[in-house]
Amino acid sequence: MVFSPNIILFLALCLLPEMKSSMVNLNSNGYDGIVIAINPSVPEDEKLIQNIKEMVIEASTYLFQATKRRVYFRNVHILIPTTWKSKSEYLMPKQESYDQADVIIANPSLKYADDPYTLQYGQCGDKGQYIHLTPNFLLTNNLSVYGSRGRVFVHEWAHLRWGVFDEYNVDMPFYSTRMNTIEATRCSARITGLKVVFNDCRGGSCITRPCRRDSQTGLYEAKCTFIPDKSQSANESIMFMQNLNSVTEFCTANTHNTEAPNLQNKMCNRRSTWDVIMESKDLQNATPMKGTDPPPPPIISLVRSKQRVVCLVLDKSGSMGSEDRLLRMNQAAELYLIQIIERGSLVGMVTFDSSATIQNNLVAITDDDSYQKITANLPPAAGGGTSICSGLKAGFQAITNSNQNVSGSEIVLLTDGEDEGIQSCFQEANRSGAIIHTIAMGPSAARELETLSNMTGGFQFFAHKDANGLIDAFSRISARSGNISQQALQLESKALNVTARKWINGTVPVDSTIGNDTFFVVTWTVGKPEIILQDPKGKKYGTSDFKEDRLNTRSARLRIPGIAETGTWTYSLLNKYLAPQLLTVTVTTRAKSPTTLPVIATAHMSRSTAHYPSPLIVYARVSQGFLPVLGINVTAVIEAEDGHQVTLALWDNGAGADTVKNDGIYSRYFTEYRGNGRYSLKVHAQARDNRARLSLRPQQNKALYVPGYVENGKIILNSPRPETKDQKAEVGMEDFSRVTSGGSFTVSGAPPSDNQTHVFLPGKISDLEAKFKGNYIQLSWTAPGYFLDKGRAEGYIIRISERLQELQNDFDHAALVNTSRLIPKEAGSREIFEFKPGPFKIENGTNFHIAIQAIYQVNLTSEVSNIAQVTKFIPSQEPSTPALGTNIHAVSLAIWGLAVILPILKLEIVFLIGRLGRERNQSCQFLRFSDVKTRRGAGSRTAHSTRPPGRSRVGLPASRRAAAVLQGAPLPPAARARLRPAAGARLASSDGDAAPPGGDARRSPARPPPPERTLAALLPAARAPRPVGKRPSAFLAPPSACPSAETTAAAAALAPPPSASHVCPRRPGPAAAPPR
């Protein structure tokens, strides 16, 4: 059967965009091809299998209900490891493997870390990598903590398949609403419960007290906990607390809590989870099933992994003779057979040109001599045409000739040529059940290769100019069983052009988790160089210790006996020839022992295809077990078909392409396209100078551990969460080095590199934070680039509002903060900016929302950032209360003292009233400004006046200031200049140094005129409510607003000096009272 070009294009578009080779597909409302794989280290347990089945069956019905009858689980495969006994009910695997499973069952790296979670680090709507469930979670009754396992599975499936995020926040469990109330971070806001602090917990019961406000944040104290009511009326949301019986839905646009500071709001621009789910390809093509019947139960199959079977299918056509391709292929194949393939594997080899030849049926790799049976048959010369399908069919035949099943076996297909008939074997390849890894060598390799690898769950690679490109590709094709101790790890991959008679030097760190089966390999293009290798203890290896292969592949290798010494190894190579030559160094090793978890690095692109100008994201994950490794240098090298290489430093800073800071996922945008075609990815992770750290923090994107419930007014606690000591700590790590291939990707629609216009916008700021420092608001964020995360933006637009919806729906008309003195830094740098929110009245409980855009040139503006919230909180002075045991005589004495003091106070009040008469004629004079100066760096203005002795700076005596307070009189502009903080701004570097102010903030002229502000509004005792969104304006106070001389003077004595004044006409008053 021959596929038409249209079918080939359809397959490419459907299969290639996946960034992970999951075999899941949705057909007629049912999910097929779900793989749940059990790690080889998990002990055999029939109860585990039974509980997995029950979880999937329950989850299918719950998913069907949650998606409003749209999708359910139809076919699920449970992959049994080879460490478990074989049984007749276990089926033969096809493309299922542990490395590509959708759900993995594995022990945690930390004791008690049994929270179900999803490894998810893409953007909003991007699929996750896998769901991790522990055996303890599946075998222990966690109903009261997480809810039923089926509900938990649906929660994690939404992470994995639809790219939504959690609606809680363990780091910020409470927030201040626009109504100045404190609420638990949740969705929907209709979920009810108590906010309490637990004291003195013993035997499952605790003494509780109400939560208090934190004096710094204005939110509840750190120990405050939200305890949900057991009985709820809300039906949402599954991404908050799926364990509540009433919760059967995801938050919709009508029920979504846009104010909650959770990851869903941050990553998805405050869209509801249901809106994101409905935009997925799954739900776009799934209409609700008719009727009221539940979905059919899932079909669950048990599939057992088998011994690894690999067949190399290598091209030896005439085009392989150019650019040393055949030689490089033989070097890489030899390295794969000697250093990469696991002991106990079965390996065969086929070579092809216009026809195919089986060079070796399957050979068991059991000792050092086994591989020589295969390497002896590597092709010595190139010639003939290219028939890829002939090579594939011969590969299948080599497997069956050895009484092995093609299903579940692996084919490594390498070719540099085109084959118009390749599509004729697509159906047979897909039906075979084999996993096909493809390596495209050079720019002319068949474009259909990637379709083969994607439809069968294999890897795809591209190698061209990079001398080590083929070696890197073969090194990546290691065991897929989940047994990390068997996998080969690449420590070094370096190619250097060395001039005549010159030395080159290098170092390779060998950390304490590795060292078994360690090889140093050197290749050359002219002649074998002089080699000196020294271990950390000073032992040296010379040129004679590096053995050349009898096939004359221009390579020599040294295998370190036993376990390689821990520490830094140094090597030196001398090109002793008169001609320059290309020298390469490759170092591979394995884990020190089966019980030692080594550091692992993996890499991939966000998609396998990109259509210009759509950007791609480079991802690299560095971990030890399931724990992330932080603080290291991760570099990506991307090579185009023309040989041009782009080097990117990847970041784990929680900004730009990186979703979460310090999660061991290093990311960066890639936009430097150089025309259409294939690109390769290689990543180098290095820990230097003892800066690496192992994070022990809990995983993100997990089911929430619920501490208890409120039932009939009483708090019923769950068992305390088991935690390791110092759970949030980071452990120092030794230096290490890892190299890994990230496969290849394909670009279309891109113009030539010399004809590209600037089409990318500045990067969106996603980590904006705000806090009050006195009367200033301090903002901090990671600087974006002038396009995405490259270079430097030209400026920032910062807007502020008291209403969240204004920034969400009408950002361009919110109040503008002056940023004229804010000069953007290089992308990836930390920005700190301080300003006074001048147009606004700041008082206790005032909420501000702030957002920012980066700009480049006139017409290129980034998306609006995440919206940061900041609340002004002024701690109240709580009066001290005497203890209940206070002596009655002390109380009596206090009462007697008051009786004596009150008559004296009465006389003082009479005296003050008399003094008012002397000051009445001076009460409302105009304020003369003769010396107005600006305090640079403070962002506000201070007015200095020439005034009579005893006169206040604002032109009002104390009695008049009190009168203004009591009568609510408006304030003159001079006084308001002190009262109103100018919207000036000051810049602060990361070390806190202040720079000159940036001027006043501006508001949109479209806003309605503000009401008059009075000094009465500043005092809690006389505060008037202020309409939201209004601002003060300068004005002349009407005469009626001026206080009379008879105003009570007691308030004048108590009133603080105002920071503003108003202007009143002079008017006569009663005669002054005689002095005392």
How many angstroms separate the Cα of 524 from the Cα of each of 521, 528, 556?
A: 10, 6, 9
CA distance 214 to 242: 30
If we measure between CA atoms, which residue out of 554, 562, 100 comes closest to residue 327? 554
The residues with which 358 forms a beta bridge, in sequence order, are 350
Residue 225 — φ and ψ, nearest 5°? -130, 140
* Token couple for 223: 């120990």
Per DSSP, the residues of 623-648 read EETTEEEES-EEEEEEEETTS-EEEE
Where are the strands (E) in 190-235, listed by range?
Answer: 193-202, 205-210, 225-228
Q: By three-state DSSP, how is residue 597 classified?
A: coil
With a CB cutoff of 8 Å and minimum separation 6, the contacts of 272 are 187, 250, 251, 252, 253, 255, 256
Side-chain half-sphere exposure of 31, counting CA atoms within 13 A? 27
CA distance 804 to 259: 8
The total of other beta-carbon atoms located within 10 Å of residue 634's CB is 27
Centroid of chain to Cα 157: 18
With a CB cutoff of 8 Å and minimum separation 6, the contacts of 248 are 62, 65, 66, 235, 238
CA distance 977 to 953: 12
Which residue of the set 18, 44, 156, 221 is catalytic? Answer: 156
Q: Is 547 exposed, middle or buried (0-12, 13-18, 19+ CB in 10 A)?
A: exposed
How many angstroms separate the Cα of 613 from the Cα of each of 680, 760, 932?
A: 18, 8, 55
Centroid of chain to Cα 537: 41
Q: By three-state DSSP, how is residue 360 classified?
A: strand
Per DSSP, the residues of 975-1008 read HHHHHSPP--EEEE-TT--EEEE----B--TTSP
The total of other beta-carbon atoms located within 10 Å of residue 76's CB is 24
State the DSSP H helix or E strand holding residue 398, giving kind and residue range, or none if neither.
helix 388-401
54 as an active site residue: the answer is: no
* Token couple for 846: 């005032």
Where are the strands (E) in 480-613, listed by range?
Answer: 489-498, 503-510, 514-523, 530-534, 540-541, 547-548, 555-559, 567-574, 581-591, 599-605, 609-611
CA distance 793 to 856: 6
How many angstroms separate the Cα of 445 from the Cα of each of 353, 420, 439, 735?
A: 13, 11, 9, 39
Q: By three-state DSSP, how is residue 731 classified?
A: strand
Centroid of chain to Cα 949: 63
Percentages helix, strand, coil for the chain (3-state, rounded to 5) are: 20, 30, 50
CA distance 873 to 179: 14
CA distance 688 to 686: 6
Q: Catalytic site residues? A: 156
